[in-house]
């Protein structure tokens, strides 16, 4: 599968780049951003671990790279950052006039309903197609971690919980923890997955934690001034589910912080160091 370079910028002696490619899974052209630390273009034989970042509603592949300030620490630690788009895009791709459905709001599920199922298979894209593409074109190892924000935090939790053999660790900022019981999730899942709510459970982190047989390290950061906290995010549901089955969830509450990228920028170093403990260890080589 070929990729086309869209842009490249020197940053902390590494490269911040954007690429375009044709996705067979999503049946459209997609873009992703990638940060390559210094050495990825010169150290023969060395392969770097990867952190996949999933962004939230209305975002593209550039929000995180421009706002989070993650590259300095990624450069120091020697971690590649991969930031995909949040949905399929294009004139032929189904859309909706509201911000929380359609393009920019893929919710990291495999849609089964019309008109969405032809393109909206973000779960398969993130879990399988994109990593294969990255590992085929860049000097990266199979040591993968996954993180995200809001809708992307939901995606990171779900994909990590469903594929523990593929990741070393999972983290999330302000994730939608219980989408089957919040307005954002009910709207998106009803459209993408249909009326049978039992099908929704496979994309709900609070349900999946209780079903997990393999436990990954999970870090969740939540601001207590987040305007979506009570109605949409429901971290207490995830915490209760984890406690019920003794899943080692680390949930941190941060006083005074909201839902914005200012919150992410404040604690992204902590998350990168959390993942580095596992990505840079020899204890586990993911499948």
Cα first-last separation, the chain: 21
Whether 259 is catalytic: yes
Residue 62 contacts by C-beta under 8 Å, 6 or more apart in sequence?
A: 18, 33, 83
Distances (CA, A) of 192 to 118, 156, 163, 183, 248: 11, 18, 21, 14, 31
Which of the following is catalytic: 85, 95, 100, 226?
A: 226
Which of the following is catalytic: 149, 154, 259, 271?
A: 259
Whether 226 is catalytic: yes
Judging by beta carbons within 10 Å of its beta carbon (0-12, 13-18, 19+), is residue 246 exposed, middle or buried? Answer: exposed
CA proximity to 159, closest of 198, 108, 112: 108
Other Cβ atoms closer than 10 A to 252: 11
Strand partners, 149: 173
Which of the following is catalytic: 150, 171, 174, 206?
A: 150
Asked whether 111 and 120 are in contact (CB, 8 A), the reply is yes
Residue with tokens 């300030």: 69
Which element (helix H / strand E) includes 9? strand 4-11
Pairing of β 80-84 and β 140-149? unpaired
Asked whether 104 and 12 are in contact (CB, 8 A), the reply is no
Task: Report how far residue 193's alpha carbon sits from residue 200's, in angstroms, rounded to the nearest whole number.
Answer: 7
Asked whether 10 and 36 are in contact (CB, 8 A), the reply is no
Name the residues annotated as catalytic: 150, 226, 259
């Amino acid at each position: 599968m070929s990729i086309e370079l869209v842009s490249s910028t020197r940053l902390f002696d590494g490269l911040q780049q954007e690429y375009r490619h044709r996705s067979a899974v999503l049946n459209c052209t997609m873009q992703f951003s990638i940060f390559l630390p210094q050495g990825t273009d010169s150290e023969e034989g060395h392969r770097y671990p990867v952190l996949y970042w999933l962004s939230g509603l209305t975002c593209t592949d550039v929000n995180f790279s421009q706002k989070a300030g993650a590259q300095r620490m990624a450069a120091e630690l020697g971690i590649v950052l991969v930031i995909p788009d949040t949905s399929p895009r294009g004139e032929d791709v189904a859309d909706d006039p509201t911000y929380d459905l359609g393009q920019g709001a893929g919710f990291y599920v495999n849609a089964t309903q019309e008109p969405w199922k032809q393109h909206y298979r973000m779960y398969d894209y993130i879990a399988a197609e994109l990593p294969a593409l990255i590992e085929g074109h860049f000097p990266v190892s199979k040591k993968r971690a996954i993180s995200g924000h809001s809708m992307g935090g939901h995606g990171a939790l779900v994909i990590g919980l469903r594929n523990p053999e593929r990741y070393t660790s999972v983290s999330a900022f302000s994730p939608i923890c219980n989408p089957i019981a919040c307005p954002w999730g009910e709207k998106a899942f009803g459209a993408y997955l249909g009326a049978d709510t039992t099908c929704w459970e496979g994309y709900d982190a609070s349900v999946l934690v209780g079903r997990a047989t393999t436990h990954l390290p999970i870090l969740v950061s939540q601001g207590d001034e987040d305007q979506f906290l009570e109605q949409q995010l429901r971290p207490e549901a995830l915490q209760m589910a984890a406690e019920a089955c003794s899943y080692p969830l680390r949930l941190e509450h941060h006083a005074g912080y909201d839902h914005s990228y200012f919150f992410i920028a404040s604690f992204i170093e902590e998350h990168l160091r959390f993942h580095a403990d596992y990505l840079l260890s020899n204890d586990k080589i993911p499948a």
